[in-house]
Each structure stands twice: as C-alpha cells, then as structure tokens.
Structure 1
Amino acid sequence: MTTNLEYNPTIDGAASHYDDLDQFYREIWGEHVHHGVWFTGKETDNEAAENLVKMVAELGRTGQNTDVCDIGCGYGATAKILAQRYGANVTGMTISSVQLAYAQANNNVPGKTTFMVRDWYENQLPDNRFDVVQTVESLEHMPDLPTFFRECYRVMKPGGRLVAAAWMSCENPGPWAKRHLIDAITRETQIAGVRPESEFRAATEAAGFVNYQFKDYAKQVKRTWPLCALRTVKGLFTKPHYRRFLFSSKNPNRIFALTLFRIWLAYELGVQRYGVFSADKV
C-alpha cells in the first residue's frame, strides 16, 4: 500500500537521497543498508550485517508469529530474515519508492511480510497492533523524537517491546567536531540529526516505555565505513557510472562519497557512537 507524503524537507530529502543513490547503496552495501557488527573480527561482511539483525531479533524476543513493525525497512532484507528464520509476521515501512519496488519484487515470503511507503508520523496503523516495533538506522531521519516514540507506543500491544539501533553522537562534541563532523554528516546524508544517547532515553521514557536498556557498539560496527570507502574508491577506477555520477554537478547527493570518510573519522575520534536500545510497554 502506498500513501502520498506531504511535503517535508527532511522526508523529501531522505527519499530523494535513497532513490538517487539506490544503485550505489546496493553495490556498496548490498540488501542490508545498515552497519555490520564484528564480534570476532573474522566475520564476512554479510555475516556482520546479519549479526545486527540477529541482535535485534533476540532483543525483541521475536519468534513464531510475532507481529513486527519494521520502521525504515530499506530493501526488506531484515524483514525477510525475521520471517524466514524466526517465523515472524513483518510489516515493513520505507519512505523510498525505489526501495519499496525492490522489496516487493524480491519478497520470497509474501505471506509473512508486507511492505509499504509510509511516513511514520502519519502511519495510519491501528492501536495495539504489534508485539515488536523496531527501527534499524531510521531514527536519524526523525525530526521529532517524542512524537516518534509516542506513535511506537500507540501501535504496540501491552507487553510489547521497542528495539532500536541508531547512529548517535557523543554527549558533548566540541565545536570543531560538531561543525565538521556531526553537522556536516547530518546535512550531507539528508538526516534530521545525529543525537546523543540521552535524547533517545528521555524521549523513550516520556512516551511511556519502561525498562530502557542501552549498549554502545561503536567499536564493533566502525569497520563498516573503511570497507564502504574502499568499495567506493575501487568503483571510481573500475565502474564508469561511478565517475559519471560522482563527478557530475547535477547530482547533489554525490557529496555522500565524501561523507563516508567523515563518518569513518567521527568513529575514530569517538565523536560518533552506535547505540542499540530496547524498552517495554506494560
């Protein structure tokens, strides 16, 4: 199902970002448009990406016929794993029509997964619908955290669980880091912000959730960015469409190639964190 999104600079910008960079995301990231988690350092890239999915599933206590809402489902890779391996029923939401088309065309568990283009702030979902509401790297696009979490609470069944994996900043980045890393990353990736963990905790608890639990996985995920940067550099030398896109002034999203290196540096300096947290509705 598709709904029309009202104009919103953040929503429109993010949708355009993912639509314009679709080919590059799939070539550089694959179906999983999120960080990998290297627990041992020996995992393949795909194993690292699936480590994050497994972590989210375990935190959500996801199992047979668990009703899951996946906010920011991307190409549907996480939803398909939850359906195939855990037996969950997953409703995936994206703001990208290109991602939606890919997810639907490659949906090999149609009876267990549903994908739609939908703005979470106007999600039109019924109250008390889901056992788990999860968001893997989509909170960055949400300009209003209190409303976001209130909606999560509304659509969740009593006894349900919220699980989130999110880009975060350190609590007090200095002026240089804020200007050249946090603010620049925010602007260039068309997101609403890279926020400190304290803001997520406050908004989650204000929405009514309890039992908030948080862990920082920055050390385990930061390897994602040098890998992406290396793939991009290789692409510039081996794939003409990389050069055409990245060197054309007509493509405002070409700046993302530089942003890869900013994010890499932000992790190395401890300015950027990667948080995974959960909370319950009683």
Structure 2
Amino acid sequence: MAQHEASSPQLHPGDQHEIPSVEAHGSFDSLKDRIKTHYEIASDYYYSLWGQHIHHGLFKSAHETKEQAQVNLINYLLEISALPASAKVLDVGCGVGGTSRFLARERGCTVTGITISGRQVEIARQVTATETGGSAPSPGSFARYADEAGRGGGRVRFLELDAEKMLDHFRPAAGDETETFDCVWISEALSHLPNKELFFSSSFSLVKSGGLLVIADWFKAPVLSPEQESADIKPIEDGMLLPRLYTADEYVALAAQAGFRARKEPVDISKDVAKTWDISWSLVSSPSLWAFAISQGRDGLAFLQAFRAMRRGYANETFRYAVMCFEKP
C-alpha cells in the first residue's frame, strides 16, 4: 500500500511577503496625517474583522470568543475605575464607537466619542442608529438609548476631532466655562499621540474635581537593550504608526506632572491579552487582504507585518499591555 505523504503546513500569506525595513517617522504632523489616512482607508476592514471593539481582548478562559474578551476588557476598566453609572464620559480615540455605545447602553452614561477619522465617525453613527432604532444622528448630535422601562437612558455622540485639540474644542470663547467630564477614557489611542504631555494636561483641565482618567494602552518593557529595541519594538512603532513607545511608569510620571493622583497603579495584563494577536494573525490570512495592503504602499504592508512583531514582542516580554486609572484631586 502506498504511503501518503504528510501534507505540508499551509503558509500564511504574510510569510510570502517581505517585512519592510524600519523607516524613521517624519515630523509629528506628517505622522498624524499618515494615521488619519490609515484609518480612513482601513476602518471598514477593521469593523469587518474585529467588530465594534477595535481593541485587545482580556481572555479569562480558553473558550472565550474575541468579542467576549473585548467586553471583558471594558468591564475590567470599569472595575478598576469604579466609574459611576450615568457618568459624563469623553472617549478619546473612540474608533467606530464600540466602547462609547457600551457605556451609554449598559451604564447609562452620556458619552462623547472623538476620533481623528471622519470615516470612523460615519461607521459609528450608522451602527448607533441600528442599535437605537432611529436614523443616524447628525454629526455632534446625541443618540439616546432607552432603559428597561422604555425611558431615556444613556446618550452617545461622535465627533471628528484631533485629540491634541480637544481642550480647544471644549473650551469655548473667553467668558464661557469649559465643558467638563466625569471621566476621560482612552483605550489604545494614547500610544498614537505624539504630544503625550499635552494629552495629560488637557485631560486634567477637562475632568471635574474627583473626575477620572482611565487608560488602557501598549507599552515597551523597561530597560531594554538596543538589540531588543531594534528587533521587537521598532517594527511595532513603524507598522502601527506610533511615535516612540513609552513605559507604563512614564505614563504615571506624566499623570502626576499634570496634577493627577493614582487611583489604580498600572496593572500589567499582557499574558491575558496576548492571544488577541494570535487571533488577529489568523484573521489576516486572506491573500486578497494582503494584496489590498500592498496596493496601499509601504505603510499597508508594514501594518500587517507588525502583527507578527506584536506576537514576537509579547512572547519575548519586551512589548507590554497595561491598564491604569487616575483621579483629579
């Protein structure tokens, strides 16, 4: 009887394409332009692949779906922050609005989601209309969720706004009071912002006394060698269009410099979220997706290849994920 040859493992399309050499980012303004262009082009793909929540998942068991894990992460941030129900929240870097809608729908919050991408605002408004059963709200207008008794519950709106200009936007002309919030919430967007000092100081101005700053973000491990930086961190910064990655302790220092005090020191949950990128790597296994990425030029290919770098960074413990919460005295 003839022996069957063992089938060779199927190659992932990413294995068939080069990993672009790292290129230094240009000016901060040019980097923000590239970030905006990326999200204008890629947000529909994000939504089709990841769903409403374009962020890591917190996996509590091996059997959870990515959608369950993504909600786990939101609930964990609610746990460490003790965000009150019906709070007024500014969701910075809201993506297609998954967290904003969750806080409005499940917690009765009044949420303003901001993103640099006009396309993300469009998707967020369309999904909100489907959930609330109404027409898509006009830009800047609140959509309302009904509570269990059918009365008015939480509200949500979406604005196209550069996060580094949020203080100017919510601080009107001289003589009027600045609009303030009970909480500034930012999940996996702060690593994109070139001027992190400005973000912390603006957040301090925009939250009320006793208000919260809730953060989930990507970090590099402290005290890395130049070789570790080059092999593991630079490809992530390059492909994900990030200025240099900070350590979690640097965020703590910037928060204190702005006037915040820690409510919850950084909690490293890297091991519980790393599976996100194993799933993500399997989700980008379509040759047509890689062809589309290549058609967008170097940044498209570098972005998909950064998925590989994220997995490597987590495995080597050079790339980290942490959550934290601060309070305005």
Give the structure-2-normalised TM-score: 0.78
Q: Match for residue 181 of structure 2?
A: 130
Question: Aligned in 2, Cα 1:214/1:128: closer, same or farther, shift over 3 Å?
Answer: farther
SS for the counterpart of 1:278 is: strand
Contact 1:128 1:157 (8 Å CA) reproduced: no
Q: Match for residue 3 of structure 1?
A: none
Q: Partners in 2 of 1:270 and 1:251 — Cα distance?
A: 27
Q: Match for residue 48 of structure 1?
A: 69
Contact 1:62 1:88 (8 Å CA) reproduced: no
- Aligned pairs for 1:67-82 (under 5 A) are 67-82=88-103
Q: Match for residue 160 of structure 2?
A: 117
Q: Partners in 2 of 1:249 and 1:32 — Cα distance?
A: 24
- Larger Rg, first or second structure (1 or 2): 2
| 2:282 counterpart of 1:225 | no
Deviations 1:165-217 (A, max 9, x none): 00001001221221132122112111223211121011000000012521000
Which runs of 5 or more residues in structure 2 are unaligned?
1-27, 133-142, 145-154, 172-177
Which of 290, 306, 313 matches 1:266?
Answer: 313
Which of 280, 295, 298 matches 1:248?
Answer: 295
| 2:221 counterpart of 1:163 | no
The range that moved more, 80-89 or 53-62, is 53-62
Amino acid at match of 1:152: S
Q: Match for residue 181 of structure 1?
A: 232
Which runs of 5 or more residues in structure 1 are unaligned?
1-6
Amino acid at match of 2:157: T
SS for the counterpart of 1:21 is: helix
Question: Aligned in 2, Cα 1:243/1:267: closer, same or farther, shift over 3 Å?
Answer: closer
Q: Match for residue 15 of structure 2?
A: none
Q: Partners in 2 of 1:144 and 1:252 — Cα distance?
A: 22
Which of 248, 268, 282 matches 1:216?
Answer: 268
Which of 238, 245, 248 matches 1:194?
Answer: 245
Question: Aligned in 2, Cα 1:218/1:186: closer, same or farther, shift over 3 Å?
Answer: same
Offset at residue 162 of structure 1 (A): 0.8
Count of residue correspondences: 271
Contact 1:62 1:86 (8 Å CA) reproduced: no
Contact 2:260 2:327 (8 Å CA) reproduced: yes
Which of 254, 261, 271 matches 1:203?
Answer: 254
Question: Aligned in 2, Cα 1:251/1:23: closer, same or farther, shift over 3 Å?
Answer: farther
SS for the counterpart of 2:252 is: helix
Amino acid at match of 1:121: E
Provide the identity percentage: 27
Q: Match for residue 172 of structure 1?
A: 223
Contact 1:162 1:278 (8 Å CA) reproduced: yes
Amino acid at match of 2:266: F
Q: Partners in 2 of 1:189 and 1:118 — Cα distance?
A: 20
Contact 1:121 1:148 (8 Å CA) reproduced: yes
TM-align CA RMSD: 1.7
Offset at residue 31 of structure 1 (A): 1.6
SS for the counterpart of 2:182 is: strand
Contact 1:36 1:48 (8 Å CA) reproduced: yes
SS for the counterpart of 2:295 is: coil
Amino acid at match of 2:214: V
SS for the counterpart of 1:106 is: helix
Question: Aligned in 2, Cα 1:104/1:207: closer, same or farther, shift over 3 Å?
Answer: same
Q: Match for residue 23 of structure 2?
A: none
SS for the counterpart of 2:208 is: strand
Which of 40, 55, 59 matches 1:34?
Answer: 55
